[in-house]
Amino acid sequence: RKEVEQDPGPFNVPEGATVAFNCTYSNSASQSFFWYRQDCRKEPKLLMSVYSSGNEDGRFTAQLNRASQYISLLIRDSKLSDSATYLCVARTGGAQKLVFGQGTRLTINP
Amino acid sequence: EAGVTQFPSHSVIEKGQTVTLRCDPISGHDNLYWYRRVMGKEIKFLLHFVKESKQDESGMPNNRFLAERTGGTYSTLKVQPAELEDSGVYFCASSQEVGSAYEQYFGPGTRLTVT
């Protein structure tokens, strides 16, 4: 079983739509969580950290549910430039290595 | 400020040959990480340097892989001898400090193809 699991998609949604991704993690010792964005043949870039209280950054909202061990990302009013692969990432306390999910591919259509 | 740089961007070698990948972290970043993504799989951690010391090498797949960071600046990752399953994209990342408050910045990766 993968430590971080995501639906690989692809998700194809029209511009302006709201789209949500979930991911689950199996290691209950995981303490920090992140969403990274990766454009085709580029490096991963941090989109946002995820906190238990939930956090919002513009059109993006991230949520963490520790009891159910899942993380979500909501994108509102999607733009063409949001097309990318979204990587769910966990980090176990005490360790610095990042554990990645396989990524969810999103395509926003005009 | 320059980001993380990696060299080469692409490498095609034959099975059994040796390849050395290089990573230059962001200036002043003591922490340097290697990750790789093989086809169809998720990005996986290989190892973590703090300055010149290996802090965690739990992700290194086998002894054909050797990572060094002499002087605590740039790092090299040597694969010798390369096998077909070593093909993938090798990413380097660096961070100023450790902890979730400190972002790991990724380089553009080296795409390695072993034929």
**Digit-coded pLDDT (tens) for B86-103:** 999 999 999 987 766 678
For the segment B42-61, the average pLDDT, to the nearest whole number, is: 95
| Closest A-chain CA to B39 | A102
User: Residue B43 and residue A100: Cβ atoms within 8 Å?
Assistant: yes
* Position B1 pLDDT exceeds 80: no
User: Residue A42 and residue B108: Cβ atoms within 8 Å?
Assistant: yes
Burial track B64-85 (b if 16+ CB lie within 10 A, e otherwise): ebebebeeeebbebebeebeee
pLDDT of residue B100: 63
pLDDT, one tens digit per residue, over A57-93 is 999 999 999 999 999 999 999 999 999 999 999 998 6
Q: Smallest CA–CA separation between B82 and chain A, in Å?
A: 23
B13, B82 contact by CB (below 8 A): yes
Q: Which residue has the higher pLDDT, A94 or B111?
A: B111
pLDDT, mean over chain A: 93
| Closest B-chain CA to A5 | B42
Q: Smallest CA–CA separation between A98 and chain B, in Å?
A: 7
Tokens of B93: 């990342």
Residues of A in contact with B107 (CB under 8 A): 43
pLDDT band at A104 (very low <50, low <70, confident <90, very high): very high
pLDDT, one tens digit per residue, over B24-47 is 999 999 999 999 999 889 999 999
